[in-house]
């Protein structure tokens, strides 16, 4: 494993262990900002709470923008049930069965935290005959809090209230065979790759051909993380996000995925072809793919009306929006393509 990939994996482990469901990302944005603070960068926050790091290039009239997002799936407390269990409202697009049995953390408005487990109300097979058949939905799924609570008032006395954020335990693990297993690799794996790219550019004193902005967005999972704060000089806008794996998909866990189309329509043809050409010229392993039920920050930027050339690449992530997995090979291939891309001429 190369040094840069080792550093990317370490950063992934740090990032996934910082809770950051959409709407509650101040801590992780501050972590990213602090990790870049010693470099010669222009660092700014937008009003939505995202972070923009800018590296000045030789051409300051035409800019590039790359983005990855730190916000993740999560939930909010919807209701406190009479028996002291919590009902949830989901944040982001995923299914209830993807979090059944997961450990979680509830953060109150005062900053106190409590752990718990997300379970079906009818979990015990010794009590509920049809436990396996009950529907996994907002009425049957609940949080069992790790505190002595028996009624609604006991929970309220802890300071837990409707609107409190609930984050899911990432359970990150790196195997001897090079796999990274964790929740929230979407899109913290890509954020780690971008951070490594920025650091390597800065430490090598590389001069980029174009002024390049790196947006660490914080609302992608709810659809609008990267649709604003795009400088008017920006020509090319590249989202770095997970590649979707499944039946009928070309994407795998060992290459960089280059997206041709998602639910928002085709990505810019010439930019996609440019990325493919860079991969082939530099012996970078890649797959071109279509993600049928997917939208990125680049999609959001186009829908917001920005006159840009947009693209999407990223590491292949298995079991997206559940307990995800990728491989160091995919991280490495994605890093290499990004490195070549930021040094290349615009299309």
Annotated binding-site residue numbers: 69, 186, 221, 241, 321
| 202: alpha, beta or left? (left if phi > 0; alpha if psi -120 to 50) | alpha
Rg over alpha carbons for the chain, rounded to the nearest Å, is 21
Q: Which residues contact 83 (CB under 8 A, 6 or more apart)?
A: 150, 151
Q: Which entry of 107, 220, 236, 253 is annotated as an active-site residue?
A: 220
How many whole angstroms separate alpha carbon 74 and alpha carbon 217?
A: 16
Residue 166, CA distances (Å) to 103, 187, 232 in order = 10, 18, 37
Phi/psi at 67 (5° precision): -140, 145
For the question of residue 220 being annotated catalytic, the response is yes
Tokens 């929970």, located at residue: 155
β partners of residue 309: 236
How many whole angstroms separate alpha carbon 90 and alpha carbon 22?
A: 10
Which stretches of the chain are DSSP H helices? 3-16, 26-36, 152-158, 185-203, 269-281, 297-303, 328-343
Indicate the angle between helix axes 3-16 and 185-203, nearest 10 degrees. 130
Residue 97 CA to chain centroid, in angstroms? 20
Query: Which residues carry a binding-site annotation for Zn(2+)?
Result: 69, 186, 221, 241, 321
Can you give the length of the chain in residues?
347
Q: Got the DSSP string for 70-116?
A: --B-EEEEEEE-TTS-EEEEEESS--GGGGTT-EEEEE-TTS-EEEE
Tokens 């609940």, located at residue: 142
β partners of residue 54: 42, 213
What residues act catalytically? Answer: 220
């Amino acid at each position: 494993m190369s040094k840069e990939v080792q550093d990317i994996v370490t950063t992934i482990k740090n990032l996934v262990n910082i809770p950051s469901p959409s709407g509650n990302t101040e801590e992780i944005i501050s972590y990213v900002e602090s990790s870049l603070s010693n470099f010669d960068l222009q660092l700014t926050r937008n009003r939505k709470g995202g972070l923009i790091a800018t590296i000045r290039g030789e051409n300051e009239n035409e800019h590039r923008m790359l983005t990855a997002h730190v916000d993740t799936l999560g939930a909010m407390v919807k209701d406190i049930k009479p028996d002291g269990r919590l009902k949830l409202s989901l944040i982001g697009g995923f299914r209830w069965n993807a979090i059944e049995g997961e450990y979680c953390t509830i953060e109150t408005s005062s900053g106190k935290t409590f752990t718990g487990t997300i379970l079906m109300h009818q979990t015990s097979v010794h009590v509920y005959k049809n436990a396996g058949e009950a529907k996994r939905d907002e009425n049957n799924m609940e949080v069992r809090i790790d505190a002595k609570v028996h009624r609604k008032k006991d929970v309220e006395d802890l300071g837990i209230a409707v609107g409190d954020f609930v984050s899911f335990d990432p359970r990150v693990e790196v195997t001897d065979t090079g796999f990274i297993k964790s929740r929230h690799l979407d899109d913290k794996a890509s954020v780690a790759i971008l951070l490594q790219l920025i650091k390597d550019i800065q430490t090598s004193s590389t001069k980029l051909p174009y002024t390049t902005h790196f947006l660490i967005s914080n609302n992608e999972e709810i659809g609008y993380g990267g649709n604003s704060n795009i400088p008017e000089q920006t020509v090319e806008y590249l989202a770095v996000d997970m590649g979707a794996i499944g039946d009928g998909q070309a994407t795998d866990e060992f290459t960089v995925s280059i997206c041709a189309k998602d639910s928002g329509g085709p990505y810019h043809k010439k930019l996609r072809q440019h990325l493919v050409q860079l991969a082939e010229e530099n012996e970078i392993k890649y797959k071109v793919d279509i993600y049928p039920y997917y939208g990125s920050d680049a999609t959001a930027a186009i829908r917001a009306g920005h006159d840009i050339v947009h693209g999407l690449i990223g590491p292949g992530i298995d079991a997206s929006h559940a307990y995800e997995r990728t491989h160091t090979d995919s991280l490495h291939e994605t890093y290499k393509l990004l490195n070549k891309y930021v040094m290349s001429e615009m299309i």
